[in-house]
Amino acid sequence: MASSASRGTRARSRSLSAREKEVLSLLSQGLTGVEIAERLYLSPETVRTHVRNAMTKLNASTRAHAIAIAIKNGEISLDGV
């Protein structure tokens, strides 16, 4: 059985980073990966990495699924969309 310390570490590691939240928020506004990369001064590959990491943390199967979970969990909002 996992100790409470290891459970807490796992829970924290599943939280989205600020950049992952930012990328998912921009995706939710309809921007493409390339548009997000240009807006945030990142490479498209870096944007794909942030999306992939967010999807893994949220156990999402698609980008849309990740956005829905992030909204449901209060990680991102649709304010201003």
Q: What fold does the segment set 4-72 form as a domain? A: Arc Repressor Mutant, subunit A (1.10.10)
The CA-CA-CA angle for residues 13, 34, 16, to 5°, reads 15
The rounded Cα 46 to chain-centroid distance in angstroms is: 13
pLDDT at res. 30 = 96
Residue type (1 letter), 45? E
At 51-81, the pLDDT tens digits run: 999 999 999 999 999 999 999 999 999 875 5
pTM: 0.81
